Amino acid sequence: MKTITDYTNGRLNEIIEFADNNKLNVELFSTLSRFYRHLANGYNVELYPDFAPMSMTFAIKNDDGTVSLNGGFIFHGDHDNGGDGGAPTFSVSLDNDTKPRWSIHT
């Protein structure tokens, strides 16, 4: 069975608690659900901590352990001007959405 493995050392739980406390559960879980598509296509997903606030990195792997896709699961909001490429996320969001949200960057 294909799995999502949490190697975040508590970061995932911290993000879930943050989303719950800030009424961002829909935003969080709609983005997390994108990983389930990879499971359905026969890949495993691994989650790791990231330096950016409320963010993680991920790897989509084949059964032999080779990485098919990897990137960041990045939280955007006021703290990074909605993803303008500056600190603390150093990630650019291509949409004009300014509300707090997570996005996948590869």
Q: What is the pLDDT of residues 20-46, one digit of tens each?
A: 999 999 999 999 999 999 999 999 999
Going from N- to C-terminal start, the domains of the chain cover: 4-105
Paired with 60 in beta bridges are 45, 69
Query: Model pTM?
Result: 0.92
By the 8 A CB rule, do 104 and 72 touch?
Answer: yes
Q: What is the pLDDT of residues 37-80, one digit of tens each?
A: 999 999 999 999 999 999 999 999 999 999 999 999 999 999 99
